Amino acid sequence: MAPEAGWIEGKHERDTLVFNAGGAWSMRELARLVREVRAAIPARAALGGRTRARIDLARVSILDSSGAWLVADTKRRLDALGLATEIVVGRAADRALLDRVDKALKRIGTLTPPAKPHALLAALANLGEIVIEGLKKGKELLSFFGLSLVLIVRATSMPWRIHFKAVIKHLETTGLNALPIVGLLNFLIGVVVAFIGAVQLKKFGAEIYTVDLVGVAVLRELGVLITAILIAGRSGSAFTAQIGTMKVNQEIDAMQTIGLNPIEVLVLPRILAMMIALPLLTFYADMMGIAGGALMAMLSLDISLTSFVRTLHEAVELKTFLIGFLKAPFCAFIIALVGCFEGLQVSGSAESVGARTTMSVVESVFLVIVFDAFVAISLSILEI
Amino acid sequence: MEAANVIEVRGLINQFGLQRIHDNLDLDVHRGEVLGVVGGSGTGKSVLLRTIVGLNRRRAGRITVLGIDTEKASRTEAESLLRRWGVLFQDGALFSSLTVAENIAVPLQEHTDLTKEVIHEIAYLKIGLVGLPADAGAKYPSQLSGGMRKRAGLARALALDPEILFLDEPTAGLDPIGAADFDMLIRDLQQSLALTVFLVTHDLDTLVSTTDRIAVLIDKKCKVGTIHELLRDEHPWIKEYFHGPRGRAAVKE
C-alpha cells in the first residue's frame, strides 16, 4: 500500500500567500516534490504587495528529515522574498522534527562554497605544489640515505648486531625465489636482441656481429637493468608493503618502545640482502641472456655454439662485464632504500600503504634508470 | 497499516565450517523501538546483523524486513529495501577517498534523481543533525577523530531517511563522554526521525540508556526482554552479564 504522494498548492488570501501541503513529504519522491515546490513559489513581481506567507502542513501524512529540509528551504526562500512566513503543522511530532532540522541547519550556517580559483592559476599552483613536494621528498630521501649509511658503517664495526636471520630470509625471498622469473625474462631479452640484430646486420652481411651485439648489450646494460627493474617491482614494492603494514599496525611504534631500532631491525637486513642478491641475480641474468642470444644465433644464423663462444670471447672484454656487474650493488641499494623509505612514510590508513607502494616502484625504477644513464654518460666522457 | 514487526527472523541457521553460530534463531524487531543485541564474543552478534542486511548468506531460515522476504525479494524490492535501511559499521566504514559530505552524498546520488545542489544541502543537513561542525563536511575521513568518523558514518546511514537503522557497536572505542553523547544522539534521532534501531553493542551503559528491549544471544538462540525482565533471568550467562561488577554499576543508575 503506497502512501499518498506529496503535493503542494499555492493560494492567495487577502494579504497572505498560502501553501497547502499534503501527502508524503519524504525522501521517496523528493526530487519531484522539490521541483513542484520551487515552481509554486511566485516571483517577486507576482506578489502583488502581499507581506505574509503561510505553509500549512496539516494534511501531510509522512514527514521525514528531507521533507522537513524542504519546508525549511521553502520558508527561507519566502523569507528572502520579504514575506513573514509561518508554518502550521498538524502533529506535534512534525513540529519537533522541524525544530530539530532548523537547529541542525542553524548549526551548519549558510554554506558558501569556497571560491574556485582561475583554472590557469590552479594549474600553476598545482605545479608549484608538485615541485615543492618533490624537493621535500628528495631532501627526506637524502637524509634517510645518510642515516642508513651511518647505520651500515656502525653495523660493520659491530657485525653481531646485524640480524643475520632476517638477512637470510630476505635473501631467499628477493634472490632465490626470483630466479625463475629473472632467468626467463633475460633469456627472452637475449633472444629478442639477437633476433633484431640478426635482421638488421644481415643487410650488411655482418651477421656475425650479432654475437658482439648480444654480448655487449646484455652484459653491459640489459642484464642488470632488466633485473633491477624486475626486482624493484617484485621486492622493492614488497618492502614498502611489509614495512607500511607494520607501520599501520603500530608495530614500529611498539619496536621503538621496546628499544629496538626499526632501521636496524627492518631496513638494514633488507638493504644487505638486496645488495647481495641483486649482483648474484645479475650474473645469472647475464648468463641467461647470453644463452638466449646463443640459441637464437644457432637457430636463425647457423652460428654454432662453439663459434658463438669463440666470437664472444674476442668481442667482449672483462671490462664490459664488470661495468654491468658493478652497477648491480648500487641499483640494489637504491631499490632497497626507496622501498624501505616509502614503507616508513606510510601514515595511518591502509589506503596509504597502496599509494606508497606504487610510489616506491615508480621512484626506484626512475632512480635506477637515471643512475644507469649517469654511469653511461660518465663512462663515455671518461672514454672507458 | 504495515505490520508492527519491521524485522522478523525465523529459524535462522548460520554456520561457518563445522561451527554452528545460530541454530533455529527467532527474533522480532518492533516498529519504532531500539533493540539492543548483546552476547559474548563469538556468539554471532555482528553475523546476525550482517545476515539481516544481506552481507552474509544464511544456511537456513527466513528473514522478513519491512514485509519483504529478503531471500525471495525481486531486484526492485531488494533495491527498495536498501533505501529503507541504513547501516553504521564499527569504524564508520567511510569511503576514504571521499570527503565526509561526498560520502553522505553517495547514497543520494545512487538512489535519487535529486539535483546536485539539493544533495549538497541535504548532506550538510545530515552533518548538522549528527552534531558535526560544518567544516567537517569538506574533510577526509583520515582527518577526523574516531568519534567524528562514527558521526559521519551515521550521517551517511541516515542519508536516505531510512526506517531502520543498524548500528554495529556504535560506542566501541569512544571515551565515556563521547560514548554517552553518542547514546543520546541515537536516542534523540530515533525519536525525532521515528527510526527503528537494531543496535549491536558491548556497552552496558548504551544498553541501559538507549534500548527499549534487549536480545541476548546465548546457546545459539536469542532471548529477548526488557532490561528488568532480563535482570530476573536465571540463565548463568545473563546473570553474570547483568549482575557482574560492570553490569551492576550500569544498571544502578
Q: Is A29 on the interface with B (CB under 8 A)?
A: no
Sign of the CA dihedral with B189 first, then B90, B84, and A34 last: positive
Distance, CA of B25 to CA of B217 (rounded, Å): 9
Burial of B74: CB neighbours in 10 Å, binned 0-12, 13-18, 19+: exposed
Predicted confidence (pLDDT) at residue A109 exceeds the cutoff of 80: no
CB A212 within 8 A of CB A297: no
Per DSSP bridges, beta strands B5-16 and A84-88 are unpaired
Long-range contacts of B226-235 (CB under 8 A, 24+ apart): B227/B251
SS (H, E, C) chain A: CCCCECEEEEEECCCEEEEEEEEEECHHHHHHHHHHHHHHCCCHHHHCCCCEEEEEEEEEEEECHHHHHHHHHHHHHHHHCCCEEEEECCCHHHHHHHHHHHHHHHHHCCCCCCCCCCHHHHHHHHHHHHHHHHHHHHHHHHHHHHHHHHHHHHHHHCHHHCCHHHHHHHHHHHHHHHHHHHHHHHHHHHHHHHHHHHHHHHCCCCCCHHHHHHHHHHHHHHHHHHHHHHHHHHHHHHHHHHHHHHHHCCHHHHHHHHCCCHHHHHHHHHHHHHHHHHHHHHHHHHHHHHHHHHHHHHHHHCCCHHHHHHHHHHHCCHHHHHHHHHHHHHHHHHHHHHHHHHHHHCCCCHHHHHHHHHHHHHHHHHHHHHHHHHHHHHHHHCCC
Which among A339, A356, A337 has a CA at the least distance from the CA of A347?
A356
Q: Which residues of B fall within a CB distance of 8 Å from A103?
A: 128
Provide the pLDDT for residue A179: 95
Provide the pLDDT for residue B18: 82
- Residues 41-80 of chain A with CB under 8 A from chain B are 64-66, 69, 73
pLDDT bin (cut points 50, 70, 90) of residue A93 is confident
pLDDT bin (cut points 50, 70, 90) of residue A108 is confident
User: Given an 8 Å threshold on Cβ–Cβ distance, is B133 in contact with A97?
Assistant: no
Predicted confidence (pLDDT) at residue A111 exceeds the cutoff of 70: no
For B42-51, write each residue's pLDDT tens digit.
888 888 888 8
Which among B215, B195, B252 has a CA at the least distance from the CA of B35?
B215
CB A83 within 8 A of CB A51: yes
Answer whether 0.80 is exceeded by the pTM.
no
Predicted confidence (pLDDT) at residue A326 exceeds the cutoff of 90: yes
For A49-85, write each residue's pLDDT tens digit.
778 888 888 888 888 888 899 998 888 888 888 888 8
User: Given an 8 Å threshold on Cβ–Cβ distance, is A351 in contact with B128?
Assistant: no
ipTM above 0.85, yes or no: no
Q: What amino acid is encoded at B62 in this protein?
A: R
Predicted confidence (pLDDT) at residue B253 exceeds the cutoff of 60: no
Distance, CA of B137 to CA of A107 (rounded, Å): 13
Q: Which residue has the higher pLDDT, B171 or A14?
A: B171
Provide the pLDDT for residue A184: 96
The rounded mean pLDDT for chain A is 89
For A119-144, write each residue's pLDDT tens digit.
889 899 999 999 999 999 999 999 99
- Residue of A25, A26, A27, A347 for testing the chain B interface, max B β-carbons within 10 Å: A27
As a whole number, mean pLDDT of residues A234-240 equals: 95
The rounded mean pLDDT for chain B is 86
Provide the pLDDT for residue B1: 40
Q: Which residues of B fall within a CB distance of 8 Å from A109?
A: 134
Predicted confidence (pLDDT) at residue A222 exceeds the cutoff of 80: yes
CB B86 within 8 A of CB B162: yes
Per DSSP bridges, beta strands B68-69 and B34-39 are unpaired
pLDDT bin (cut points 50, 70, 90) of residue A1 is very low
- Residues 169-208 of chain B with CB under 8 A from chain A are 188, 191-194
> What length does chain B have?
253
Which among B92, B36, B89 has a CA at the least distance from the CA of B209?
B36
- Nearest residue, CB atoms, A30 vs list B112, B120, B126: B112
Q: Which residues of A fall within a CB distance of 8 Å from B194?
A: 64, 93
Distance, CA of B37 to CA of B83 (rounded, Å): 23
Q: Is B11 helix (H, G, I), strand (E, B) or coil?
A: strand
Query: CB contacts < 8 Å between A and B, how many?
Result: 74
User: Given an 8 Å threshold on Cβ–Cβ distance, is B129 in contact with A65?
Assistant: yes
Q: Which residues of B fall within a CB distance of 8 Å from A104?
A: 125, 128-129
Provide the pLDDT for residue B3: 55
Which among B162, B195, B166 has a CA at the least distance from the CA of B49?
B166
Predicted confidence (pLDDT) at residue A166 exceeds the cutoff of 70: yes
Provide the pLDDT for residue A336: 95
Distance, CA of A265 to CA of B140 (rounded, Å): 34
Predicted confidence (pLDDT) at residue B2 exceeds the cutoff of 60: no
Predicted confidence (pLDDT) at residue B203 exceeds the cutoff of 50: yes
